[in-house]
């Protein structure tokens, strides 16, 4: 069963995943707080990402940069001049909205990257008016999305600084130090997880477009002459994805299911590196339970590309409101390093042992995930309504589930409580556990099904004799009798084998 984004927001609030920020004061548009279940899921997503992209790889090292950084960083990166959205403002009620969103909603045509002049023409031609009060708009104008603040005890313009709108720039400014400290040799990546801030004109669709969010980003650097030389391509050979190239979009064709190597041979994906990273990130979601038919890779049209990008692909998810970006992956070339070399006057090149020359590496792919969008994807893909159980069953992958094992005494009586508590103490060393002794056993199972808990362990009177417990599986409701002695191994195996 598919639910709407508003129904998902209501479900997240009810089950303690996500709350409206400062709700007791009426809330703040674009800001959300993660509750007890949400923080666990979000932390598990970030931990799974870090494990796969940093810990398990020899070619990627991590950093954790500051949110506020020297303002010149954002001049060099182009954000001060170009990180803008076009805004329409009502002449009467002053309602402000993103111009491309208004065009898309009113005319049902793609408008991302549309220029101001074109928008003014469309607004006039179709007599588009403010959806709130039906009055005409002022001419469209630029709005820079960066939040500003002042550093130090002053409000002087000279002390203006910005909250970072992406984590990426810290990977460029620290590039030389990280390469030296971690003794990285090209090709290599720098990874970071952290908060980003964008003063979105119209935040909407719950966690999809917020003003404060988190990113998990990698800048992957290669030798500028070795864009065709990806030693990892074999790892994704034969992997299939739904591919939607710019040419297919222009010809209004349907996306095509393709193997990575075929998309490369046909020149649809231009570099092996881009193909490798797109397949790797697609697979990351699939390995954590997302249905492949809900994912596709879509190439940016020329009009959509950011100021720094040579070629960009998005990984998109089929949300109930539309196919939408969950991660962007631009080929940023040497744009950022060259900009920082120019603005800082510092040498950010590396010495190439082969040519005995200095080179400025290229970022061939920048896998840039939004944590909050990934959170939404896992929630939507896991959400199901079971008619027989007359209950929501949240089929989260056990590696992501906020609670992995529920532990219950069949009834709230000794000695069942004592044995359950001792099981709880033992299992919590390896798993996230929730102990629950209140209500009927059916009610307790239902609560855990809704919370996404994949396994529930029940201690009954037989447990005292046979030293076994009942393990009940969330997805199938199947129950198995398992010896307490081997319970941890049983659960570990079930988590590893989960499909
Ligand atoms: N460093 C490149 C970069 O920031 P982006 O496409 O602007 O690229 C990357 O952002 C990802 O960050 C997006 O794919 C999305 O998942 C997430 N993101 C961007 N803006 C967001 C917002 N307002 N709310 C939630 N997530 C957002």
The residue-averaged pLDDT of 83-100 equals 93
Q: State the pLDDT confidence band at 487, using cuts at 50, 70 and 90.
A: very high
Cβ 161 vs Cβ 71: under 8 Å: yes
What span, in angstroms and rounded, lies between the C-alpha atoms of 352 and 335?
19
The residue-averaged pLDDT of 42-47 equals 98
pLDDT at 306: 78
Instruction: Specify the DSSP element, H or E, that contains 382.
Output: helix 371-382
pLDDT at 183: 94
The packing angle between helices 371-382 and 36-50, to 10°, is: 110
Q: How far is the CA of 101 from the centre of ligand 1 (A)?
A: 16
- Ligand 1 pocket, 370 CB below 6 A? yes
- Ligand 1 pocket, 219 CB below 6 A? no
What span, in angstroms and rounded, lies between the C-alpha atoms of 361 and 334?
6
Nearest CA to ligand 1 atom 16: 370
Pairing of strands 96-98, 84-89: antiparallel
Tell me how many degrees the CA angle 222-46-314 measures, rounded to the nearest 5: 55
Closest atom of ligand 1 to CA, residue 373: 16
Q: How far is the CA of 157 from the centre of ligand 1 (A)?
A: 28
pLDDT at 400: 98
- Ligand 1 pocket, 77 CB below 6 A? no
pLDDT at 136: 93
Cβ 317 vs Cβ 126: under 8 Å: no
pLDDT by residue (tens digit) across 281-329?
Answer: 999 999 999 999 999 999 999 888 877 788 899 999 999 999 999 999 9
Residue 495 has pLDDT above 90, yes or no: yes
What residues does 302 pair with on adjacent strands? none
The alpha-helical segments, DSSP class H, found in 51-193 are 71-76, 79-82, 99-107, 116-125, 168-173, 175-181
- pTM metric for this prediction: 0.96
- Ligand 1 pocket, 213 CB below 6 A? yes
Residue 1 has pLDDT above 70, yes or no: no
Among 213, 282, 309, 376, say which to mutate for ligand 1: greatest number of ligand atoms within 8 Å of CB: 213
pLDDT at 158: 86
Q: How far is the CA of 327 from the centre of ligand 1 (A)?
A: 7
- Ligand 1 pocket, 168 CB below 6 A? yes
Backbone angles phi, psi at 468, to 5 degrees: -130, 160
Q: Which long-range contacts (CB under 8 A, 24 or more apart) does 431-435 make?
A: 431/404, 431/405, 431/488, 431/491, 432/40, 432/401, 432/402, 432/403, 432/404, 432/405, 433/403, 433/404, 433/405, 433/406, 433/407, 434/403, 434/405, 434/406, 434/407, 435/406, 435/407, 435/408
Nearest CA to ligand 1 atom 4: 166
Q: What share of the chain is helix, strand, coil (3-state, %, to 5)?
A: 35, 25, 35
Structure tokens at 269: 């994906």
What span, in angstroms and rounded, lies between the C-alpha atoms of 268 and 248?
10
pLDDT at 332: 92
The residue-averaged pLDDT of 403-421 equals 93
pLDDT by residue (tens digit) across 358-410?
Answer: 999 999 999 999 999 999 999 999 999 999 999 999 999 999 999 999 999 99
Radius of gyration of the chain (CA): 25
Backbone angles phi, psi at 143, to 5 degrees: -140, 120
Residue 397: how many other CB atoms lie within 10 Å: 20
Among 166, 192, 278, 332, say which to mutate for ligand 1: greatest number of ligand atoms within 8 Å of CB: 166
What span, in angstroms and rounded, lies between the C-alpha atoms of 233 and 217?
20
Closest atom of ligand 1 to CA, residue 198: 23
- Ligand 1 pocket, 336 CB below 6 A? no
Q: Name the least confident of 304-308, 411-415, 477-481.
A: 304-308
């Amino acid at each position: 069963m598919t639910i709407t984004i508003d129904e998902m927001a209501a479900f997240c609030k009810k089950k303690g995943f996500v709350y409206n920020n400062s709700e007791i004061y009426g809330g703040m548009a674009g800001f959300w707080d993660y509750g007890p279940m949400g923080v666990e899921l979000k932390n598990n997503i970030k931990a799974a990402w870090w494990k796969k992209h940093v810990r398990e790889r020899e070619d990627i090292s991590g950093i954790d940069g500051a949110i506020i950084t020297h303002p010149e960083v954002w001049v060099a990166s182009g954000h001060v001049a170009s990180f803008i959205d076009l805004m329409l403002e009502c002449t009467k009620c002053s309602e402000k909205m993103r111009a491309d969103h208004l065009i898309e909603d009113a005319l049902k045509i793609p408008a991302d990257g549309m220029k101001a002049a074109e928008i003014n023409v469309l607004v006039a031609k179709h007599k588009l008016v403010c959806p709130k009060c039906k009055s005409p708009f002022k001419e469209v104008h630029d709005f820079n999305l960066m939040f500003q603040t002042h550093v130090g005890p002053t409000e002087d313009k000279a002390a203006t600084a910005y909250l970072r709108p992406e984590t990426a720039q810290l990977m460029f400014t620290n590039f030389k130090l990280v390469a030296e400290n971690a003794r990285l040799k090209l090709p290599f990546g720098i990874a970071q997880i952290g908060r980003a801030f964008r003063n979105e004109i119209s935040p909407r669709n719950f966690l999809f477009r917020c003003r404060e969010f988190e990113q998990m980003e990698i800048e992957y650097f290669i030798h500028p002459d070795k864009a065709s030389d990806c030693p990892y391509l074999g790892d994704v050979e034969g992997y299939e994805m739904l591919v939607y190239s710019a040419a297919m979009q222009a010809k209004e064709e349907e996306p095509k299911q393709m193997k990575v190597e075929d998309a490369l041979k046909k020149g649809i994906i231009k570099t092996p590196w881009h193909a490798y990273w797109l397949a790797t990130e697609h697979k990351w979601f699939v390995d954590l339970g997302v249905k492949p038919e809900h994912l596709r890779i879509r190439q940016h049209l020329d009009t959509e590309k950011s100021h720094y990008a040579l070629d960009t692909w998005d990984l998109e998810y089929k949300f109930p409101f539309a196919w939408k970006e969950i991660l962007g992956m631009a080929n940023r070339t040497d744009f950022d390093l060259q900009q920082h070399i120019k603005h800082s006057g510092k040498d950010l090149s590396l010495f190439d042992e082969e040519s005995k020359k200095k080179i400025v590496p290229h970022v061939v792919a920048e896998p840039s995930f939004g944590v909050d969008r990934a959170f939404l994807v896992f929630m939507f893909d896991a959400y199901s309504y079971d008619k027989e159980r007359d209950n929501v069953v949240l089929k989260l992958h056990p590696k992501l589930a906020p609670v992995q094992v529920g532990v219950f005494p069949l009834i709230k009586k000794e000695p069942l409580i004592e044995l359950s508590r001792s099981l709880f103490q033992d299992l919590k060393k390896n798993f996230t556990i929730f102990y629950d002794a209140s209500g009927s056993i059916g009610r307790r199972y239902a609560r855990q099904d809704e919370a996404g808990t994949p396994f529930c362990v029940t201690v009954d009177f037989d447990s005292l004799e046979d030293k076994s417990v009942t393990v009940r599986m969330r997805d199938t409701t199947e129950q198995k009798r398992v010896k307490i002695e081997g319970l941890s191994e049983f659960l570990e195996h079930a988590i590893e084998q989960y499909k």
